[in-house]
């Protein structure tokens, strides 16, 4: 990391505040080859026109672009040195942070879901980086009841709120990347029907409330072998290889939650296995826990204008990589996901210099 001579770290550690605490953290590391990088002051007043203005890291090789930001630019500050901000981030002018309203997920009293937004300008290219954490599935049984699930609807509402917030009229519009634990899940009802096509289902209810507490799916023949057991926090399928074979791509058809945002968000093709829920046993780096159906919870998405930035290239080499980190080692219950790309600041210019960047979720 010696070549990364500037850093900005934002850690929400205000855990005593039920109203504001998100537990989010964003790390930004800037390479020494980048001579001019500026960060947006969200609380600043209109100032001069600026020239040459997650976990996340950027390494860029900068030429000498001369294009200025538009005349309505708010205050940008040149990034120098290394700074760490923690505890109460609400007063930090270089970011926007919000926790979702409690009514979005009323059954989870201590929900910590929300987002942190920062804006950067590299040469003449401005973009937002939005670190997000959406709501989880509280119960496998509830998720299985409907298609799409009630939890999918909650995430849809929260993500829509974030997108509306970052393109509202308070600031100039900019390309944006949204990354983090979206908690996107496979459509549970469809997945179970596909995995257990020839199975019979046994329902177990609580003696006192008659509430469904467990579903057992057995093969119709083969000595009625148990294929799947489903409880509130149990998803025990007999053959985990289905989630690993060919990186689980056969199950991508059940990854549907992003489809409602297809006109607003773009994602590169997924070629890595589901990022959650991995075993936290250090000797079981490739093993999933049997608590949830494996899913691509961790994602890096972008606006359509950001898509145009990263897919520009002046060479034939592969310049965009979307993958996960640590496929064979324990990284916790989530595998980190990264997006490495080149951007050409000065979109639309035939000879725009190309920079390298890497976003790590």
pLDDT value of residue 69: 44
CA distances from 300 to 56, 179, 315 (A): 11, 4, 24
**For residue 170, what are the contacts with CB-CB under 8 A and spacing of at least 6?**
none
DSSP per position, 261-298: GTTT-B-PPP-S---B-B---TT-TTPBPSSS--B--E
pLDDT value of residue 162: 97
Asked if residue 265 lies in contact with residue 302, where contact means CB atoms within 8 angstroms, the answer is yes
Considering the four listed CATH numbers 3.30.70, 3.40.50, 1.10.287, 3.60.10, the one that applies to the domain covering 6-44+74-185+243-340 is 3.60.10
In this predicted structure, the answer to whether residue 335 has a pLDDT above a threshold of 90 is yes
Residue given tokens 């000498």 in the structure block: 64
What is the rounded distance in angstroms from the CA atom of residue 218 to the CA atom of residue 228?
7
User: pLDDT tens digit string along 193-204?
Assistant: 999 998 999 999
| Mean pLDDT across 286-313 | 91
Question: Beta strand 96-99 with 355-360: parallel, antiparallel or unpaired?
Answer: unpaired
Identify which has the larger pLDDT, 65 or 298: 298
What is the rounded distance in angstroms from the CA atom of residue 3 to the CA atom of residue 356?
14
Written as six digits, the tokens of 303 are 């606006």
What is the rounded distance in angstroms from the CA atom of residue 143 to the CA atom of residue 189?
8
User: pLDDT tens digit string along 72-126?
Assistant: 445 899 999 999 999 779 889 999 999 998 888 877 767 889 999 999 998 778 8
pLDDT value of residue 350: 43
Please state, rounded to an integer, the average pLDDT across all residues of the chain: 86
Question: What b/e string do you get for 136-170 counting C-beta neighbours within 10 Å, with b at 16 or more?
Answer: bbbbbbbbbeeebbebbebbbebbeebbeebeeee
User: pLDDT tens digit string along 112-130?
Assistant: 899 999 999 987 788 999 9
CA distances from 99 to 157, 158, 211 (A): 14, 10, 33
Domain boundaries, given as residue ranges, for the chain: 6-44+74-185+243-340
User: pLDDT tens digit string along 283-292?
Assistant: 999 999 999 9
pLDDT value of residue 361: 53
pLDDT value of residue 67: 34
pTM: 0.88
What is the rounded distance in angstroms from the CA atom of residue 203 to the CA atom of residue 212?
7
**For residue 153, what are the contacts with CB-CB under 8 A and spacing of at least 6?**
none
């Amino acid at each position: 990391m010696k070549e990364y001579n500037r850093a900005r770290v934002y850690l929400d550690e205000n855990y005593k505040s039920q109203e504001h605490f998100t537990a989010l953290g964003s790390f930004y590391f800037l390479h020494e080859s980048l001579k001019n990088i500026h960060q947006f002051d969200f609380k600043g007043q209109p100032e001069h026109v600026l020239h040459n203005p997650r976990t996340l890291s950027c390494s860029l090789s900068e030429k000498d672009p001369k294009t200025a930001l538009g005349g309505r630019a708010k205050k940008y500050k040149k990034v120098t040195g290394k700074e760490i901000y923690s505890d109460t981030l609400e007063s930090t002018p270089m970011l926007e942070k919000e926790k979702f309203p409690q009514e979005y997920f009323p059954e989870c009293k201590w929900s910590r879901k929300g987002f942190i937004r920062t804006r950067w300008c590299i040469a003449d290219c401005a973009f937002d980086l939005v670190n997000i954490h959406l709501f989880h599935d509280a119960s496998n049984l509830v998720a299985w009841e409907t298609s799409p699930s009630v939890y999918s609807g909650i995430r849809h509402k929260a993500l829509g709120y974030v997108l509306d917030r970052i393109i509202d009229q308070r600031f100039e519009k900019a390309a944006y990347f949204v990354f983090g634990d979206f908690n996107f899940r496979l459509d549970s009802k469809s997945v179970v029907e596909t995995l257990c096509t020839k199975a019979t289902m046994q329902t177990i209810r609580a003696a006192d409330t008659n509430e469904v507490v467990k579903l057992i799916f057995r093969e119709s023949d083969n000595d009625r072998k148990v294929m799947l057991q489903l409880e509130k926090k149990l998803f025990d399928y007999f053959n985990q290889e289905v989630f690993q074979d060919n990186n689980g791509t056969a199950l991508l058809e059940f990854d549907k939650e992003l489809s409602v945002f297809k006109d607003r968000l773009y994602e590169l093709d997924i070629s890595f296995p589901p990022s959650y829920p991995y075993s936290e046993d250090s000797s079981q780096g490739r093993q999933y826990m049997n608590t949830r159906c494996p899913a691509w919870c961790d994602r890096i998405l972008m606006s359509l204008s950001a898509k145009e930035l990263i897919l520009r290239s002046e060479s034939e080499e592969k310049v965009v990589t979307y993958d996960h980190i640590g496929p064979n080692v324990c990284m916790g219950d989530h595998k980190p996901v990264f997006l490495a790309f080149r951007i050409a600041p000065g979109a639309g210019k035939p000879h725009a210099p190309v920079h390298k960047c890497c976003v790590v979720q």
